[in-house]
């Protein structure tokens, strides 16, 4: 099954689906802010661990979660490694490649580690949100918070089209693999063919989708999951809910730790 | 004044739900894809639009609810000429529902009821009305049990039905289907066509237009058949008269329905009129029994 469907499947059938979207957004964003500002490695680890646990507990398969986590990791690792060679003065490891002397610095390594933890923690906060909240609810809430319509609509389109791109890339690559397109010497040519084929087909798909939406008078509104609830209990509008209080408490603890700085 | 206009509308309505006059269209302004299409759909009819690949079927269908704007020509839907401002387009899209060839392009929401609700929600209906429409649409094509399923987990045939339900929730009186049975196995195709037939029976105002290159399907299913060749409608009328016309069929790169082909053979061999042209294999067997094995 494709990535898109796996994700969409989780968002509608996880244990946290009934928690209000606003609460989840608040929780995820606020925790993210703490993660961005804290200097404590311990706190970052704590947040990363907690967020991952909640997400996995809510119904995401560990295998999928780790797979998705490795995607940003592959982008992060090289740049973090470079940092280790550039910052600081106390070498921990020296070696030379083709006449170049390279030294890995202590300070750079530490900074890199902190940076990476911070990024991964931030990503775990966002993953929590994306994997437990259906896109329609997210858009709904964005609208409630008076986000401009164009931003909301754009978010939906980007969300849908990213997956169109990924799916097209996968199927084009499969077709090329089947014809041995990635053998030696063919790489660059195959890759550029892959990209252009992917773009053309994605454009076609996007156009089909646009027409299908237009045919049903789409005006930027996604039906919310609440439509599915048969007996109305969502009429009462509370600002405060138990889950929200719980989340605030959790974040407050984190905040105290971060500001207090007593834990390392 | 107003009453007078209504009367006129109704008169026109009663005959032709859709009338296309001299429609010309080109995607790239170099090659004409539609070259002066004329066609009429009658209220309550099931019409099949057949043509080989690239004949321009999809292009024609996309004009019927204003998704494409013609370079020349007019489209009349239930007595009103199509205009291309936003308000008029919303109106025509409520009347003309198009089901696209690939349901994966059409289904955008993760859960079935959510997707079916897309049209009504965007028309600005109240929550109660939306729920009512979703319920009715699912009921009309007998898929209430799919209501809470994840759309991507459905079979291809079920997806097609969900796509149709999404269109029916707009409550159109003209249902347009692009290649309704492509990608389905014979049983699912049959099932889908039966569903469409029972839909027509429930609602005798509903007209259905289906584009296809399956002549067998067109012959068995439709009340009327139109043949399209290179952007023109070359013949339209009774299925037997149109699909039995060898010259038209050949030049349009189509094949004659098998039942009809065999019947024509019998017609040549038999000494007298072999009776009504058969619609199905069973009817064909009867003709054979009556004429050849007597
Ligand atoms: N978006 C487009 N841009 C440019 N040309 C197009 C586009 N869509 C279709 N065409 C061209 O218009 C012609 C008619 O295409 P159309 O899709 O209407 O045919 P069709 O009868 O539906 O064929 P099929 O049975 O394969 O679906 C074809 O020559 C096609 O290449
Ligand atoms: Mg087509």
Residues A107-155: tens digit of each pLDDT = 888 888 888 889 999 999 999 998 898 887 888 788 888 888 888 878 8
For A206-243, the pLDDT digits (tens) are: 888 889 889 999 887 888 777 655 444 444 456 667 77
CA angle B76, B79, B84 (to 5 degrees): 45
Largest CA distance in chain A: 74
Q: Phi first, then psi: what are they for A45, rounded to 5°?
A: -60, -45
Pairwise CB contact (< 8 Å): B62 & A211: yes
B69 close contact with A: CB closer than 8 A: no
Cβ–Cβ contacts within 10 Å for residue A207, how many? 11
Burial class (CB in 10 A: 0-12, 13-18, 19+), B29: exposed
What is the C-alpha to C-alpha distance for residues B282 and B263, in angstroms, rounded to an integer? 12
pLDDT at A237: 53
Pair of tokens at residue B278:
């058969």
Q: How far is the CA of A27 from the centre of ligand 2 (A)?
A: 48
**Helix axes of B281-291 and B258-269: crossing angle, nearest 10 degrees:** 10
Q: Which residues of B touch A8 (CB under 8 A)?
A: 110, 150, 152
Measure B216 CA to ligand 1 centroid, in angstroms.
22
Neighbouring C-alpha atoms within 13 Å toward the C-beta of B233: 23
Residues near A11 by Cβ (< 8 Å), separated by ≥ 6? A17, A130, A131, A132, A133, A134, A135, B110
Partner B contacted by A207 (CB < 8 A)? no
- Show me where the domains of chain B are located: 7-254, 257-294
Q: How many beta carbons lie within 10 A of that of residue B263, not counting itself?
A: 24
Q: Which atom of ligand 1 is nearest to the CA of B101?
A: 27
Q: How far apart are CA A197 and CA A191, in angstroms?
A: 10
Closest atom of ligand 1 to B28 CA is 4
Query: Which pair of structure tokens corresponds to residue B288?
Result: 């054979």
* Domain positions in chain A: 1-133+230-264, 150-228
Written as tens digits, the pLDDT of chain B (294 aa) is 444 556 655 555 555 689 999 999 999 988 999 999 999 998 889 999 999 999 999 999 999 999 999 999 999 998 889 999 989 999 999 999 999 998 988 898 888 999 999 999 999 999 899 999 999 999 988 899 999 888 888 898 899 999 999 999 999 999 999 999 888 888 888 888 998 999 888 888 889 999 998 999 999 999 999 999 999 999 999 999 999 999 999 999 999 999 888 888 888 887 777 778 888 888 888 888 887 766
Q: Do B150 and A12 touch (CB under 8 A)?
A: yes
Q: What dotted CATH number matches B7-254?
A: 3.40.50.300
What would the 3-class secondary structure string for chain A be?
CCHHHHHHHHHHHCCCCCCCHHHHHHHHHHHHHHHHHCCCHHHHHHHHHHHHHHHHHCCCCHHHHHHHHHHHHHHHHHHHHHHHHHCCCCEEEEEEECCEEEEEEHHHHHHHHHHHHHHHHHHHHHHHHHHHCCHHHHHHHHHHCCCCHHHHHHHHHHHHHHHHHHHHHHHHHHHHHHCCCCCCCCHHHHHHHHHHHHHHHHHHHHHHHHHHHHHCCCCCCCCCHHHHCCCCCCCCCCCCCHHHHHHHHHHHHHHHHHHHCCCC
Distance between CA A19 and CA A54 in Å, rounded? 13
Q: Which ligand is nearest to the CA of B33?
A: 1
Give dist(CA B139, CA A71) in Å, integer.
Answer: 43
Q: Do A217 and B90 touch (CB under 8 A)?
A: yes
Residue of A nearest to B121 (CA): A223
pTM to 2 decimal places: 0.79
What's the gap in Å between the CA of B119 and the closest CA on chain A?
A: 5
Tens digits of residue pLDDT in A154-206: 888 888 888 777 778 778 778 777 776 655 666 777 778 778 888 888 888 88
Angle of helix B127-140 versus helix B156-168 axis, rounded to 10: 130
Contact B104, B162 (CB under 8 A): no
Q: So what's the ipTM on this one?
A: 0.82
What is the best residue among B29, B35, B48, B58 to mutate for testing ligand 1's pocket, by most ligand atoms within 8 Å of CB?
B58
């Amino acid at each position: 099954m494709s990535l898109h469907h796996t994700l969409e499947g989780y968002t509608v059938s996880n244990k946290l689906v009934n928690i209000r979207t606003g609460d989840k957004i608040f929780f995820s964003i606020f925790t993210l802010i703490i993660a961005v500002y804290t200097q404590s490695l311990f706190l970052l680890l704590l947040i990363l661990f907690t967020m991952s646990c909640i997400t996995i507990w809510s119904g995401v398969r560990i295998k999928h979660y780790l797979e998705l986590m490795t995607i940003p990791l592959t982008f992060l690792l090289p740049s973090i490694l470079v940092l280790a060679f550039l910052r600081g003065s106390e070498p921990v490891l020296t070696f030379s490649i083709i006449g170049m002397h390279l030294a890995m610095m202590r300070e750079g390594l530490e900074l890199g580690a902190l940076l990476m933890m911070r990024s991964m923690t931030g990503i775990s906060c966002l993953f929590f949100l994306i994997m437990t909240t259906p896109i329609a609810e997210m858009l709904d809430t964005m609208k409630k918070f008076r986000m401009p319509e164009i931003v909301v609509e754009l978010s939906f389109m980007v969300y849908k089209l990213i997956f169109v791109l990924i799916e097209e890339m996968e199927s084009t690559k499969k077709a090329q693999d089947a014809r041995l397109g990635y053998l030696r010497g063919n790489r660059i040519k195959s890759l550029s063919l892959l990209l252009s084929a992917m773009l053309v087909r994605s454009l076609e798909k996007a156009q089909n989708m646009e027409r299908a939406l237009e045919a049903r008078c789409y005006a930027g509104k996604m039906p919310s999951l609440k439509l599915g609830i048969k007996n109305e209990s969502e009429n009462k509008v509370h600002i405060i809910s138990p889950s929200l209080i719980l989340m605030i408490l959790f974040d407050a603890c984190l905040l105290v730790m971060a500001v207090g700085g007593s834990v390392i | 004044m107003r009453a007078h206009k209504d009367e006129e509308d109704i008169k026109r309505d009663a005959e032709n739900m859709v009338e296309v006059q001299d429609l010309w269209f080109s995607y790239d302004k170099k090659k004409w894809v539609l070259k002066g299409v004329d066609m009429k759909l009658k209220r309550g009819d099931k019409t099949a639009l057949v043509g080989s690949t690239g004949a321009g079927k999809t292009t024609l269908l996309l004009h019927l609810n204003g998704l494409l704007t013609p370079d020349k020509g007019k489209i009349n839907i239930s007595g009103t000429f199509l205009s291309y401002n936003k308000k008029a387009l919303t109106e025509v899209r409520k009347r003309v529902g198009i089901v696209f060839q690939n349901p994966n392009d059409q289904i955008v929401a993760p859960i079935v009821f959510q997707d079916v609700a897309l049209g009504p929600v965007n028309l600005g209906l109240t929550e109660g009305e939306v729920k009512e429409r979703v319920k009715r649409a699912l009921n009309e094509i007998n898929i209430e049990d799919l209501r809470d399923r994840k759309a991507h987990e459905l079979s291809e045939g079920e997806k097609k039905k969900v796509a149709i339900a999404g269109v029916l929730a707009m409550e159109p009186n003209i249902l347009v289907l692009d290649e309704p049975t492509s990608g389905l196995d014979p049983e699912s195709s049959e099932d889908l066509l039966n569903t469409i037939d029972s839909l027509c029976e429930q609602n005798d105002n509903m007209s259905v237009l289906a584009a296809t290159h399956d002549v067998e399907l067109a012959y068995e299913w439709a009340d009327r058949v139109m043949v399209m060749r290179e952007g023109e409608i070359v013949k339209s009328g009774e299925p037997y008269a149109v699909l039995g016309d060898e010259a038209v069929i050949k030049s349009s790169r189509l094949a004659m329905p098998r039942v009809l082909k065999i019947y024509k053979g019998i017609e040549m061999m038999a000494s007298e009129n072999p009776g009504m042209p058969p619609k199905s294999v069973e009817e064909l067997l009867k003709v054979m029994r009556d004429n050849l094995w007597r």
